[in-house]
Amino acid sequence: MGVQCLTLKEYKSVFNTLYPSLCLFSNKYIENIEVSKDIVQEVFIKIWEEKIEFHNDAAIKSYLYTSVKNRSLDYLKSRHYKVTESLGKTDFAQMETDPFFLREVVISETSLLIEKAVNTLPAKCAQIIKLSIKGLSNTEISEELGVSLNTIKTQKKIAYKRLKPLLKDCFFIIAFVFEIRN
């Protein structure tokens, strides 16, 4: 795609694909999901109203993450936030750094890849993996779903076998996250 504005169809596709991860990304700064949703919506509105042009998909993602970061930081600097909340100067300085930004972008993108991969699993298998990701033990999952412990173990084995090829590229991304922390 050359330099062009997004069509309505492209705009909706970008919104539907990136909105959840951008909200979680903003929430890493704001720690208020409702405010984070507002921030992300404002960024998308700006793109649409100002007919911002992009060279390619990478430029769109870069613009969105940078804009959400900047609006999140602006919110934290705002008088309203300072009056109602408290954020230490070291916390804020940390949030303004490139390593923090890059790490959070990679975490958001990796979470999106993992979620998409898990959603390709059969329903019961995906449900078990999602509960496992939330930190529940096999016994807790067994009790919550009313199935045997062996069923949980078997479903997890099936899930891991199917997820491994789908997520092989994520291991490089995760390594990158740890690299930029240093």
Whether 145 and 63 map to the same domain: the answer is: no
pLDDT in tens, 91-133: 656 666 666 767 677 667 777 777 888 888 899 898 998 888 7
pLDDT in tens, 14-39: 888 889 889 988 988 888 889 999 99
pLDDT in tens, 54-93: 877 778 888 899 899 989 988 887 755 555 555 554 465 6
| Cβ atoms of 100 and 180 closer than 8 Å | no
Please state the separation of Cα 120 from the chain's center in Å: 18
Whether 108 and 155 map to the same domain: the answer is: yes
> H-type helices in the chain, by residue range?
8-30, 33-49, 57-77, 79-84, 89-95, 98-118, 123-133, 138-145, 149-166, 170-181
Give the CATH number of the domain where residue 133 resides.
1.10.10.10
With the C-alpha atoms ordered 44, 26, 35, 15, is the resulting torsion angle positive or negative?
A: positive
Of 66, 96, 126, the one marking the end of a domain is 96
Domains contained in the chain, number: 2
- 0.85 cut: is pTM over it? no
pLDDT in tens, 136-147: 888 999 999 999
Whether 31 and 103 map to the same domain: the answer is: no
Whether 51 and 112 map to the same domain: the answer is: no
Domain that includes residue 40, residue range = 1-96
| Cβ atoms of 129 and 118 closer than 8 Å | yes
Place of tokens 């936030």: 81
Whether 40 and 17 map to the same domain: the answer is: yes
